[in-house]
Structure 1
């Protein structure tokens, strides 16, 4: 047998090689590898008698979270070591989907007898890999996202009771290692009670931190956002980049971030690894927040949803099934379907006009210091669809136009003015006090019976519910859905099953209406009910909301 080793393949496509070296593999000094670094890839080729290319692995630097050089404790060993950490998308076992999976390559550098010289060479490689990985910029919707400073300092808040109560275990098994690989300095803070995080960030010295990261369900992020906006320096505080790691049972924002990355759907620990990877990349995007006014409570801010009726009932009533994790919502849905409720109330909204350009959003973009240029937002008006659905026995009517199925009227009142100038946070320019008539440019749905009303500002309502498929982080609109009474249990179940893949709008059910709005007002007439904001129960009664485009920042990768 010919034992001669093949020559390393220097052909890496159009990207030139900037570093080249031959090292042994850690754990087996008999195995040598040729390692090439380009602007986009780390190429590892095992030097054997096999044909060129058969033993070559190309690792994209977009998938790299970090690289470090080190020496072993054995002073008699002059070698230095180089470890690079990647999380590429790989096909899942027994599945057609893909998910991020950890890959570590560790090499031994011992070309010289001088330990310092070997260490310097390893450090040179580690710096080069990190620098080129950091230059892999991401574009989304035509806007270049800014990058967190390095080294990064993060406060990581963990709710140990969220979901199945496994958040700390998941941190220990996955996140701690990932952050260390990415050289992210972080301080772990374990929350002890409700509103602990809210109180903490309201008083914290935020100059110590480059980001605040939440590992829990969506409720803990709700606390953090409202705590930041209750500060005297809220304008600066709300610019602090926020991160989310799924550790609860809902994990809607985490699922939305994963969805925005363009990856195929995942859940559970695969979703955690995906969000951990995006967190390590440290790229920051703008995110909308929605101000919520209740009748007798202080204004609050929401990042995800406002719900009344079926969705809110399922969310809260399924708390008793929290021990089963994300499956609690499936169980809760089936239970609530068995005794479907109908709610009486009035709904009104300010439509999001075509080619809407939010001046407030543009102001926010300037003050957020993201070093990004805001691109103009163009919202195409929705087209009415007139196809039949056997389950609903009628047609779906999008509320971009009024028709017999969607009765609307125009109210006459004074022009809209700010109702919140004395409150912390940005003023609301579209809302009047709840006890005043609506402005004349609002659409009012005639008083009727509803099964649910749901306002969404992100794509996902839960890990497996793609409620607003075309939502983005900072589109400056609220995606408003409502379902009228009269829908059968079978048809409602079919809608939620279709929502798992974001196909519910294609069911063409007459009872479902979807429209994009800038503000809304809901007046419940039913004496009892549940209203939730980001999954948290709020005061039951009249409520109104306005979107603030790009008010905060989110680490999205």
Structure 2
């Protein structure tokens, strides 16, 4: 039976009990549950520090009570699941690792009474764990929540389904999250699906893939007639591809030390189970053909875009494809002619007035040259950016026509798992981090720049060819006849374009 009892270190104990661990019924343990910690003390003659386990409720993803199918056993059980940060045995790297604490309750002869006691403990653990969440400007998903997982079986090394079954499915079950897994079957499958799906069936859409699948989902949501409501559907990201830039960014925002591979997957899975939802910026990209796309990650021209596209042939290397692609492209460095302009983040220019307007809305100019907006039905939010064929306002900064090695616009912190491109970026600040590198940089200096980016120290490194600016909008006019432009790693129409940030337009499960 549990009872209130003060602990020796004077911390308030809200529940106290003596139980046997499920895996060793010959041992007795004292279990103390405070507002912040789950404390297990084995009743043994060994020193306390050797027999005591203290787990933070911030690391708890779930707790459940149950009885075994054996009707002759009146005992009940409760199991709590934690993912604390721990050092790996073979390295000093800290990562989240699963810890299960399961106890047998058999003090009473009545099976129902034992189950009620176990359920009281499980409920108390869940409630106190939820109170340890500090979502700040975010909100917590309702519990129990329903998630749809869109999994790309072909992403990365083709192991997404295996990782789902071995890592994510058990974690979601621990957290009591009901979910449906849908493997994508072809390119744009996810985009087509979310355009016509009844989104009320789920509390969140979760993507397990590289960044390309989320790009499909976001643009599919914004192509719906009910886009304003659809784009507020909480989204989640689980790294299953080779780039995994947004997943690395989400992990970075949680304040944890860098991790890679399956450790990054577990970290993002843990944040998914904690289910705190925050606003996320999107950037709309206007192409010269009139097409409009929405980006959550990056816009690239030149070196970065070339590496992204050309490294596809090395996909079987996983995240190492980008390292190989970088070395190959460095051996034959390309130069691109172009013009660039941007609206600084500190500008007082108002890009948006009132409610967002649909993409079909067209700005027209009346006799006094002011802008009038025509509203039509459906489509994503519009803006007051001038058309590509019209001059820019005076408060824009124009970069003179010159030769570039690359232009990169980042909306999140990471360009890849191991590339911290914009160290002070955040999920929703309305800022685009614009980088460009001008011609004249040596191959060795460019390589040093990307090596420094692995730790996010490239902005402090002395490099006269690198320029960084925080902007709200930009315009790019490539003048070289051939080249590659990518949006979130996807190749788009080559030619003039402009982009602008929409602060907090989407919702993302983050930490």
Range into which the TM-score falls when normalised by the shorter chain: over 0.9
CA contact (8 A) 1:459 1:471 kept: yes
What residue ranges of structure 1 are gaps of 5+ in the alignment? 1-7, 365-413
1:266 is the counterpart of 2:220: no
1:427 to 382, 394, 401: 382
Runs (4 or more) in structure 1 with deviation over 6 Å come to 356-359, 361-364
1:526 is the counterpart of 2:485: no
Corresponding residue for residue 397 of structure 2:
443
Q: SS where residue 128 of structure 2 aligns?
A: helix
2:491 to 527, 533, 537: 537
CA contact (8 A) 1:80 1:109 kept: yes
2:268 to 275, 281, 284: 275
Q: Tell me whether 96-105 or 329-338 shows the greater mean CA deviation.
A: 96-105
Q: SS where residue 175 of structure 1 aligns?
A: helix
1:352 to 345, 349, 357: 345
* Residue 357 to residue 262, structure 1, CA distance change in 2 (3 Å): farther
Corresponding residue for residue 475 of structure 1:
429
2:447 to 490, 493, 509: 493
2:200 to 199, 203, 207: 207
Corresponding residue for residue 332 of structure 2:
339
Corresponding residue for residue 196 of structure 1:
189
1:84 to 77, 80, 84: 80
1:218 is the counterpart of 2:214: no
Corresponding residue for residue 138 of structure 1:
134
What residue ranges of structure 2 are gaps of 5+ in the alignment? 357-367
1:298 is the counterpart of 2:310: no
CA contact (8 A) 1:82 1:107 kept: yes
Q: How far apart, in 2, do the equivalents of 1:311 and 1:207 lie? A: 39
Q: SS where residue 47 of structure 2 aligns?
A: coil
Q: How far apart, in 1, do the equivalents of 2:353 and 2:20 lie? A: 54
Q: Tell me whether 72-81 or 417-426 shows the greater mean CA deviation.
A: 417-426
1:231 to 213, 224, 231: 224
1:465 is the counterpart of 2:385: no
CA contact (8 A) 2:352 2:383 kept: no
* Residue 433 to residue 361, structure 1, CA distance change in 2 (3 Å): closer
Report the CA distance between 1:362 and its aligned residue. Answer: 10
1:316 is the counterpart of 2:309: yes
User: Deviations 1:455-504 (Å, cap 9, x if unpaired)?
Assistant: 00100000000000000001111000000000000000000000000011
Q: SS where residue 424 of structure 1 aligns?
A: coil
* Residue 357 to residue 15, structure 1, CA distance change in 2 (3 Å): farther
The 5-angstrom pairing of residues 67-78 of structure 1 reads 67-78=63-74
User: Deviations 1:39-67 (Å, cap 9, x if unpaired)?
Assistant: 11111000112234431111100000000
When normalised by structure 2's length, the TM-score is 0.94
Corresponding residue for residue 39 of structure 1:
35
* Residue 421 to residue 471, structure 1, CA distance change in 2 (3 Å): farther
Q: How far apart, in 2, do the equivalents of 1:361 and 1:122 lie? A: 55
CA contact (8 A) 1:416 1:432 kept: no
Q: How far apart, in 1, do the equivalents of 2:40 and 2:5 lie? A: 10
Corresponding residue for residue 362 of structure 2:
none
Q: How far apart, in 2, do the equivalents of 1:59 and 1:548 lie? A: 40
Aligned length: 496
Report the CA distance between 1:361 and its aligned residue. Answer: 11
User: Deviations 1:302-342 (Å, cap 9, x if unpaired)?
Assistant: 00000000000000000000001000000000000000000
Corresponding residue for residue 16 of structure 1:
12
Q: How far apart, in 1, do the equivalents of 2:10 and 2:312 lie? A: 55
